[in-house]
Amino acid sequence: MEFTGKTWKFGDNINTDLILPGRAQLFTEEEQLRCVFEANRPGWIDEVAKGDVLIGGHNFGMGSSRPAARSLRNTGLACMVAESINGLFYRNCVNWGFLALECEGISTAFEEGDEAKVSFEDFTVTNNRTGDVLQGRVVPEVLLNTMKAGGVLPLLEAEGLIAAAE
Amino acid sequence: MGMTAIEKILAKNSGQDVVKPGDLVVVQVGTAVLYDNNFAPSIWRDILKIHDREKVVVVFDHRVPAKDIVSATAQKIGRDFVKKFNIERFHDVGAKQGISHVLIADHGYALPGSVLVCGDSHTCSAGVFNCAARGTGAPDMFYAVTKGETWFRVGETIRYDFEGKLNAPVSMKDVFLHIADTYGSHANQNVEFGGGALPGLSINARRTMTTMCAELSAEFATFEPDEVMLDYVRERNPAPFEAQYPDEDATYLDRRTINLGEMEPLVALPDTVLENSQKIGEVAGTQINQAFIGSCANGTLDDFAAAAAVLKGNKVSSDVRLIVTPGTQNIYLEALRHGYVETLIEAGAVVTNATCGACGGGHLGILAAGESCITASTRNFKGRMGDPDSKVYMGSPATVAASAIKGTIADPRDFLN
């Protein structure tokens, strides 16, 4: 699995309340999508396009357990790469099926708008403008398979443990 | 090579002799706590089979009583789930109402040496009971409830030893702000607390610390077991348990000693608690519109007592709304019996029912654009308590109470004899 896309850069400690504000917690998925980064980057949600790649800093996704990873997935982003990903947010990336990779040095290797090639085979990230190749942290196979399968809900559905989405 | 307390708990519950940092472990879940947000129509999937109904707890806390149609619908879905699977440990609106993490403590749901998961990020709160307690996402909760297990990545552990004694009104909230300010993020790390000061620290005080560890981005926060904690659990839950003590030769990423006697009131500036606090004297005089005491971190009887000690005989500034929200209805009742509620109301505070309330910007005290709040709750992210252009400062309950009187951020030591 490999993606090539335009990058959007975000800093360190981007928190879940910025991705999915508290006021939107009980909104529908579509309504939640409209609120992504409204406080720190108003208008971004209209600029991001399907297949783009988000580049984050350290401890991306700190904060709440809310389904912020689902909102990012719903923006159409192909995947995200960050210096480091918050533990709880990483769980949510796995379990909501949003491909996420940790890669040291990513935020200095990219300027916003650079084209990135992200491989979930060998976990490398290439900056197609500079030619730089960075090695990301290997995602354990079981977690990667869950991410690729769209998270745990389809799995539980297939096992007859939860009802299908309406 | 020895293991830290959390490594031993994860080893025990994954059926292994040893786990080490870097491992990915699958563990048996001892307790799975569902809360009202899990039942929100945009999240909930009808559960067809559950693993073990006796391991499930259901709590409505974020928006109780229901503040709008969506939260009312979520709670209705939750009640149907409770009925369908005959869940006995259910905390609906009423006498048993409260915030999940406070109820988990008060009812002894978190057994030492076990694993507890809940869909709220402040679940690390129950680490005070030597429990591997972690906040997870909603899909994790569906998984844990239906399959009885979950997975964790094992991180390295930082050990904090508390020595000495706090000088009132300095509280564990101030100690937490000191740790967050000095050491910053603990992402992908576990935190273990111990030290000679433990016998003098109440479970409430310790729990403020473990709850706030979510703000350090820690994976797990645990206290070393002691008799105070073990007795607390035994008094509330007759179930057997095996507490896990760290090995003497456990490997820590770092060991840090905190002398409680040297701590003083701190205030975190808006947007984060990480490396962002100042001594009270440096921020004193900052204008505020609202003051809040509550949440899973600071809605205990100890917090009511601290606020009442400052507010007794004083009046809340006419420019400030002071909102106080107990962690459970039972704490509310205890605070009434102790006279704290009377003191607070006479001073001009509004005491609400038990709920997460203003902490998450859900209801009962939302900020408008341009407003500032000082809070003794869990989190001060941008826009957390209302409009994205509002500001949230964080301090101890005593600091919040003093600030409410003054109308600006103020030192609680000025209001105590």
Q: Residue B393 sits in a domain of what CATH number?
A: 3.30.499.10
- Compute chain A's Rg from CA coordinates: 15
pLDDT level of residue B1 (50, 70, 90 thresholds): confident
Looking at the structure, tell me whether residues B61 and B133 fall in a common domain: yes
Q: What 3-state DSSP class applies to A60?
A: strand
How many angstroms separate the CA atoms of A64 and A86, rounded? Answer: 10
Mean pLDDT across chain B:
97
In a shared domain, residues B69 and B130: yes
Question: Which pLDDT score is estimated for A166?
Answer: 73
- Scan residues 319-348 of B and list those with Cβ closer than 8 Å to A: none
Q: Note the pLDDT of residue A165.
A: 83
Percent of chain B scored above 70 by pLDDT?
100
**What is residue B6's predicted lDDT score, i.e. its pLDDT?**
98
- Asked if residue A9 lies in contact with residue A111, where contact means CB atoms within 8 angstroms, the answer is yes
Query: Mean per-residue pLDDT for B263-276?
Result: 97
Answer whether residue B231 shows pLDDT above 90.
yes
Residue contact B143–A151, C-beta within 8 A: no
Helices (H), B69-157: 69-85, 100-106, 138-147
* Tens of pLDDT, residues B338-354: 999 999 999 999 999 99
pLDDT of residue A23: 87
Q: Considering only CA atoms, which of B124, B112, B126, B172 is closest in space to residue B302?
A: B172
Give the pLDDT confidence of B25-69 residue by residue, as tens digits. 999 999 999 999 999 999 999 999 999 999 999 999 999 999 999
Lowest average pLDDT, out of A21-30, B116-125, B214-223, goes to: A21-30
Span B74-99, mean pLDDT?
98
Which residues constitute the domain of residue B49?
5-259
Q: What is the pTM of this model?
A: 0.95
pLDDT < 50 regions, chain A: none
Query: Considering the domain boundaries, does residue A163 fall inside one?
Result: no
The answer to the question of residue A31 being in a domain is yes
Domain encompassing residue A60? 2-158
Q: How far is B377 from chain A (nearest CA, A)?
A: 14
Q: Which two tokens stand for residue A136?
A: 């990301």
B177 and B74 fall within a common domain:
yes
CA angle B153, B158, B161 (to 5 degrees): 145
- Cβ separation of B70 and A84 shorter than 8 Å? no
Q: Which of B211, B236, B259 is where one domain is finished?
A: B259
Total structural domains within chain B: 2
Tell if the CB–CB gap between B388 and A39 is shorter than 8 Å.
yes
For A93, the closest chain B residue by CA position comes to: B137
- One-character DSSP codes across B18-62: ---TT-EEEEE-SEEEEEGGGGSTTT---B---S-GGGEEEE--T
Strand partners, A102: A82
Task: Note whether B146 contacts A: Cβ–Cβ < 8 A.
Answer: yes
Q: For all residues of chain A together, what is the average pLDDT?
A: 95
**One domain, residues B273 and B237:** no
Judge whether B381 is closer than 8 Å to chain A, CB to CB. Answer: yes
B265 contacts B399 by C-beta, under 8 angstroms: yes
- Interface test mutation site (partner A, options B76, B146, B381, max chain A beta carbons within 10 A): B381
- The residue among A16, A28, A88, A157 with the most chain B CBs within 10 A of its CB, best to mutate, is A88
Cβ(A77)–Cβ(A48) under 8 Å?
Answer: yes
Chosen for mutation from A19, A36, A64 (greatest number of chain B CBs closer than 10 Å) is A64
CA–CA dist A125, A129 (Å, integer)? 12
B45 and B99 belong to one structural domain: yes
A41 touches chain B (CB under 8 A): no
Residue A91: which CATH number?
Answer: 3.20.19.10
Counting the structural domains of chain A, the total is 1
Arithmetic mean of pLDDT, B273-300: 98
Note whether B187 contacts A84, CB cutoff 8 Å. Answer: yes
Does a structural domain hold residue B417? no
Q: Is residue A35 part of a domain?
A: yes
**For range B220-243, the mean pLDDT:** 98
Distance CA A11, CA A37 (A): 12
Look at residue B322 in the predicted model and tell me its pLDDT.
98
pLDDT at B273: 97
Query: Residue B173, SS3?
Result: helix
**Which of B203, B229, B259 is the C-terminal boundary of a domain?**
B259
Tell whether B76 is within 8 A of chain A (Cβ).
no
pLDDT for B22 equals 93
- Please measure the distance between the N-terminal and C-terminal CA atoms of chain A and give it in whole angstroms: 29
What tokens were used for B369?
């654009």
Examine residue A132 and state whether it is found in any structural domain, yes or no: yes
The answer to whether the beta carbons of residues A59 and A12 sit under 8 Å apart is: yes
Band of pLDDT at residue B417, cut at 50, 70 and 90: low
